[in-house]
Structure 1
């Protein structure tokens, strides 16, 4: 049974529902069956409200010097069932699991995400208090998704026809764990603009996890989310493109990438929790514009501004794009100086996606 704490967000999945809808409508019988099983499982998990507290390390861990921050990872094997967490196959410091790429990719991805938040932001795991990092691989039967359920990561193997295993892309792992950080700091509602901002922040940090691991500059990075997830049967490069939202895929089975990159094309919809995976393209592109304008590594300036904004008390659960943009601009001015190159880049980045800011907005 999938455990869930009702005080937290519903499970947060990497694969948008509109992709599964496309497969259910246009795929082969096998592809449709896998998509429908995935949708059924996802809908069930979202509906569950089991009163079980997420283990908190806040009262169990004394402050740890930054140089001593270390992850505590455990990887479980679900044996293609839907019982969580499953059987332990690798614990912290243990050897690689022979012949199991998913288990080893999950272990390495959890470590890379922990190291990114620790090294760049001095953060001690998801809750900044040493929370252990658990992940289950080989979940379900051809399960086409990965999700964070407020307690752990869960990865499906994909159907092998349209999707590879969901541990294959480091930015997916970073994205899902970042949902935990967002939940802990901003608590953004998973609906409409706050939900799209939630998804965007997860993409921002997921992309930076990958860039940090590869020491990529902002201008050299691909800015793709889910690169490698599609098999060769899909006409697409990734689930999303922060560089050019709307261009990630155009396939007769899964459909066309619906993301806008400008407020003129904002999608008003009741599906996808009010378009959380769709309209996230707008703040995604704003961050891309800021990071590439500033150059260097995305996490050094743009990432710091976005992280500080996420942690700012002015960002409340119902925060939309404009309020978040105002906070980033204010933080850029406070950190780097009013009228600085950094603050001007933030103004320009938001303006490029149709969110113009004035000094009086701050």
Structure 2
């Protein structure tokens, strides 16, 4: 299968940047060009990384390193803060450092995972990446965070769900390498939204009932046509022209890869809504742990997995975790009902 259109994108989807560029936003057009360069770099980085698909805690403690790109396109340009070091005079440096730490804390406390690779991988961030760069992106072994243009988007390092979302793309890279197209790509985006919003609720002391379930609401600028990039509670309502859907009836298997890689952002709304419906019943942390556990079932969630296969893996993990007393006894029913509400179904597994 051709990989021509299957580069993973940044936090701001390429199709949205294209729409903004067509409306005359020059920074959106420049961001598209830069993002394409980064996507190509990421593919090379990923090829050179050793696969470490480890579930659990190793002894090595990850370190946080924050670099200032000084509005250039250079990675690891100027080290401005590292693990245990003093505060920077730059608020963005400190906020990014803290948010990376909170993400690692959530991984360890709630998911029993030691950093991105499960083995204590350092978390490297590059702030002030390029000038007016309207995106944040995982580059295979580090983060690049733009300042935004101040109009459509503001600094992306200021948002915990952005930082956690992009770091989680790294987790998927090590766990099951979901291909970035169609349903598997939508699952890739979905899992980053799941962990991103779970970390945000953890940091803000929210619950499934008190959270607003918006993604990217803290990085939209005064001239953005809406309140956020996505809504997990009500997909398709985040901004004017939001293309996300909330039901599998609206899935188009023939959507070309040139259009959002076959709909990876459009269709992530389907499992996003199912996760929301699950979380309000059993709690966000329990739901996130269930999803994370299921994501390790590589026999079912393979690189080209479908929504139905993801549901099968989640149901299987739910049965196992319920049997161990780690999830409420109604979890399987809750998950099955949640996915049925968005048009996805699978048989309930029987533990042997």
TM-score using structure 2 length: 0.90
Find the counterpart in structure 2 of residue 14 from structure 1.
11
Contact 2:136 2:143 in 1 (8 A): yes
Structure 1 residue 106: deviation in Å? 1.1
1:1-362 matched pairs, under 5 angstroms: 10-27=7-24, 32-48=25-41, 49-50=43-44, 53-54=48-49, 63-64=58-59, 70-98=61-89, 100-250=90-240, 256-267=241-252, 268-270=254-256, 271-294=259-282, 297-299=283-285, 301-313=286-298, 314-337=300-323, 340-359=329-348
Contact 2:134 2:149 in 1 (8 A): yes
Contact 2:99 2:163 in 1 (8 A): yes
Structure 1 residue 358: deviation in Å? 2.8
Contact 1:56 1:131 in 2 (8 A): no
Distance, in Å, in 2 between the alignment partners of 1:189 and 1:351 is: 24
Secondary structure at 1:135 match in 2: strand
Displacement over 6 Å in runs of 4+: 55-59
Q: Which runs of 5+ in 1 are unaligned?
A: 1-5, 251-255
Structure 1 residue 308: deviation in Å? 0.6
Structure 1 residue 38: deviation in Å? 0.6
Distance, in Å, in 2 between the alignment partners of 1:13 and 1:217 is: 27
Distance, in Å, in 2 between the alignment partners of 1:187 and 1:226 is: 24
Does the C-alpha gap of structure 1 residues 58 and 90 become closer, same or farther in structure 2, counting only changes over 3 Å?
farther
Contact 2:116 2:168 in 1 (8 A): yes
Contact 2:58 2:120 in 1 (8 A): no
Structure 1 residue 340: deviation in Å? 3.3
Find the counterpart in structure 2 of residue 253 from structure 1.
none
Tell me the number of residue pairs that the alignment of Structure 1 and Structure 2 aligns. 336
Contact 1:57 1:130 in 2 (8 A): no
Find the counterpart in structure 2 of residue 3 from structure 1.
none
Secondary structure at 1:302 match in 2: helix
Does the C-alpha gap of structure 1 residues 207 and 339 become closer, same or farther in structure 2, counting only changes over 3 Å?
closer
Does the C-alpha gap of structure 1 residues 326 and 158 become closer, same or farther in structure 2, counting only changes over 3 Å?
same
Structure 1 residue 209: deviation in Å? 0.7
Distance, in Å, in 2 between the alignment partners of 1:71 and 1:87 is: 20
Distance, in Å, in 2 between the alignment partners of 1:182 and 1:63 is: 18
Structure 1 residue 10: deviation in Å? 4.2
